[in-house]
Structure 1
């Protein structure tokens, strides 16, 4: 198992597309977060200013666009590995235990999607801490959306508002992890689709289009259920959603169940021995 994981980690870290996308996203996230850093009227603490929680038009538009594109972005680094390896003549699959092989693939798929988002998000946030919080910064303690001393307004604005009010830095990191976990789950789902679909193009775009199905279904429901689609769940700013941790666990189990079903379909059609 360990040797298989090492091989897949090596493949991931030596994939040019992964490294290129990592650099581009890091630069892009940092630029969007820091672009208005010199504007005295929009300065605040780093946890108020990062694009994932900022409320100016550009940051909201960028965040919404990014959240919609996550199922497409995370596919390229590793999720198509099976389609490439199955046609390679220099890979001795018979010497690899079936369970270890696919467990490794799923783990590295998740890791690739997670790291592709978490590292750029973390670096962009650290750059804001360096620019704002490590200097004398007596700017307003109000966010653009809700007064931080108004718990009723915070409750109707932010998911897990208690954590935001008491530990805002941890709050931002938690949502970085939620966004990145969503990316990892999408990468795993794309890998599962690649097991039963031999077309690379479909593997790349399938999860992207499937991610819009919950948007359509939940749009017919009243609040708070109407706000329980993927792009809203991973956003800190989710007005009147009234979310609990259990909602996230349910969606996590849903992803894993779909992966399990797709893998079973593959195992019945094309068993790997």
Structure 2
């Protein structure tokens, strides 16, 4: 019965207006970023053709590993993508449980199956929808730019976009930049899924859909503020360490792992405790 409920939830997660609207907006964001990056590449390439024999034109600044939306240091589109990511991942399906509780749909489903079947299926569907919307956006950006920009390995001697020693997986960025991009894509997708699925737990706490949608975004903003002003030893803000970019302080893998464990433990804990006690009115 659980897999039947899960199949229904996944079908609803990927076939709704909010999923289509979010996917379309992210597609436009990635497309505009790609067009701008390709245009800038053509300018730099022509400059290299004209002056390459006389000047060091820093060829790796043209690399897909530098211009991909995950690592484009100076791009407005990269900043917008990561800053708004907590909203992007919630919009496709994170609002669903609170909406269905208010409409009475959840009560009808609970008559036919157990509470945990419904809530865990909803949790998994939210996770997959949030993870996929970010995963395919990052992959699309990399694939589009790969068709036009060279895949030149990065060089640490140049001062632009330098991933320094304090950055997470910095050595890998120079030794195997493709794997570096893959790992960041997976980490970003995992966090996107966790943020989206946490809204299932939030539905047991808040009564308004807008509160469920906005809470992850506002909470991460608070963490980012605290990180900027009080936690100067490392980067503890997901808004910062999810970007494969240079950061002000050191970024540690253990910080990322602690966030993963905490978000999953708290959200699943709320679902198990409140979900088992949920009463159909």
Q: Which residue of 1 aligns with 2:48?
A: none
Q: Does 1:106 find its partner at 2:123?
A: yes
Contact 2:9-2:121 within 8 A present in 1 as well: yes
Which shows bigger deviation, 42-51 or 210-219?
Answer: 42-51
| TM-score between the two structures when normalised by the length of structure 1 | 0.83
Please state how far the C-alpha of 1:104 moved relative to its aligned partner. 1.0
Q: Which residue of 1 aligns with 2:64?
A: 46
Q: Which residue of 2 aligns with 1:25?
A: 26
Q: Does 1:97 find its partner at 2:114?
A: yes
Please state how far the C-alpha of 1:190 moved relative to its aligned partner. 2.0
1:146-161 counterparts in 2 under 5 A?
146-147=156-157, 154-156=163-165, 158-161=167-170
Q: Does 1:198 find its partner at 2:207?
A: yes
Q: Does 1:123 find its partner at 2:140?
A: yes
* DSSP-derived class of the 1:195 partner: coil
Question: CA–CA distance in 1 between the matches of 2:276 and 2:112?
Answer: 21
1:180-259 counterparts in 2 under 5 A?
180-221=189-230, 223-225=232-234, 227-239=235-247, 241-259=249-267
Question: CA–CA distance in 1 between the matches of 2:153 and 2:268?
Answer: 47
* DSSP-derived class of the 2:270 partner: helix
The one-character-per-residue Cα deviations of 1:68-125 (angstroms, maximum 9, x if unpaired) are: 2112222221112112322245943222122222111111111111111111111121
In structure 2, stretches of 5+ residues that fail to align are 46-60
| TM-score between the two structures when normalised by the length of structure 2 | 0.81
* DSSP-derived class of the 2:173 partner: helix
Question: CA–CA distance in 1 between the matches of 2:233 and 2:208?
Answer: 38
Question: CA–CA distance in 2 between the matches of 1:175 and 1:26?
Answer: 19
In structure 1, stretches of 5+ residues that fail to align are none
Q: Which residue of 1 aligns with 2:180?
A: 171
Q: Which residue of 2 aligns with 1:62?
A: 77
Q: Does 1:74 find its partner at 2:95?
A: no
RMSD: 2.7
Contact 1:26-1:121 within 8 A present in 2 as well: no
Q: Which residue of 2 aligns with 1:12?
A: 13
How many pairs does the alignment contain? 259
Question: CA–CA distance in 1 between the matches of 2:4 and 2:109?
Answer: 14
